[in-house]
Amino acid sequence: MARILLQTTIPYAEDDWNVGRFSLLQALLAKHHDVEARDKSSATGSDPVLSAIDRDDYDQLWLIAVDAGTGLTTDECRAISDFRRSGGGLFVTRDHMDLGSSICDLDGVGPAHHFHTRNPDPDESFRTRDDAETTSIDWPNFHSGSNGDVQTIAVVDPVHPVMRRRDGSTFRFFPAHPHEGDVGAPKDEPTARVIARGRSQVTGRDFNLVVAFDSAGPEGNAIAESTFHHIVDYNWDTSLGCPSFVTEKPGTMLAEHPELVDDIHSYCLNVANFLSR
């Protein structure tokens, strides 16, 4: 059993992506692990838990970057980077445009995340709008489908163990989102590779969903995700609601076929095992 910290990069706010909106993930992981879920203690200064995580006894940090760009302080980034260097497992997810861009200062995993104004994708062809429905959100904003629906994913060969069901077959469905972020394997990180891709329902462009870091030394394994909407309550069950600033009309696939959430459930449990190597 691993001790997992499920942590957002913002203080609690009812009408935002506070950690309570990830309750289904917390309950899923808690069936097998010891899980603590929390938001940052304050919008200013370093959080006492995050800034000392390298000296605590957590085994994994699931970091949900929902800030506007200033969520993590220098001290917090240093501690999180040291946490992974000393063997801690690290899952880092974000969303569109610049949402969560404070994670860019994390060693190793930070450069896997591309944003609008920080660490943009080295492929300039990806620096264009994909989703055109929500005009207030600029690139990266890959449209994999409506919240409440699923997207059919492409598992990259060679198949990573994180992407296999218990029977050995590969996952097919992830929750969809109208404007996913952009991730890639940093060229100077030999342990990093893309393990799953999605396809835009608007442009037909393929984009990366998941990057895995398979550690070859003492540092912990890590996962970089294109959007936290893969794991938030609203994208598993839209009846649980969302912040008021989410205005796109949700889909009904998961409401009508709740078994389609099985793949993302199994994926999350696989990730927890992978980070506990």
Domains and CATH numbers, the chain: 3-275 (3.40.50.880)
Per-residue pLDDT for 90 more than 90?
yes
Q: Flag whether pLDDT at 78 surpasses 80.
A: yes
CA–CA separation, 22 and 234 (whole Å): 8
Query: How does strand 89-93 pair with strand 222-225?
Result: parallel
Place of tokens 């959430």: 261
Angle, CA of 84, 210 and 1, to the nearest 5°:
50
DSSP conformation class of 94:
-
Residue 44 has pLDDT above 90, yes or no: no
Query: Is it the case that residue 267 has pLDDT exceeding 80?
Result: yes
CA distance 194 to 229: 19
Task: Give 216's pLDDT tier (boundaries 50, 70, 90).
Answer: confident
DSSP code of residue 139: S
Q: Are 70 and 103 in contact (CB under 8 A)?
A: no
Read out DSSP for 16-63?
A: S--GGGGHHHHHHHHTTSEEEEEEES-SSS--TTGGGGGGS--SEEEE
pLDDT value of position 43: 86
Q: What is the DSSP secondary-structure string of 172-229?
A: -EEE--SSB-EE---TT-TTEEEEEEEE-TTT--EEEEEEEE--SSSSPPEEEES-GG
Euclidean distance between CA atoms 229 and 225, whole angstroms: 10
Other C-beta atoms lying within 10 Å of the C-beta of residue 81: 20
> Contact at 8 Å (CB) between 83 and 58?
yes
pLDDT above 80 (res 67): yes
Answer whether residue 119 shows pLDDT above 90. Answer: yes
- Summarised one tens digit per residue, pLDDT across range 138-188 is 999 999 999 999 999 999 999 999 999 999 999 999 999 999 999 999 999
pTM of the predicted model as reported, rounded to 2 decimal places = 0.97
The residue type of 11 is P
Percent of the chain with pLDDT over 70: 100
Strand ranges for 110-168 from DSSP E: 113-114, 150-152, 154-155
Does residue 110 register a pLDDT over 90? Answer: yes
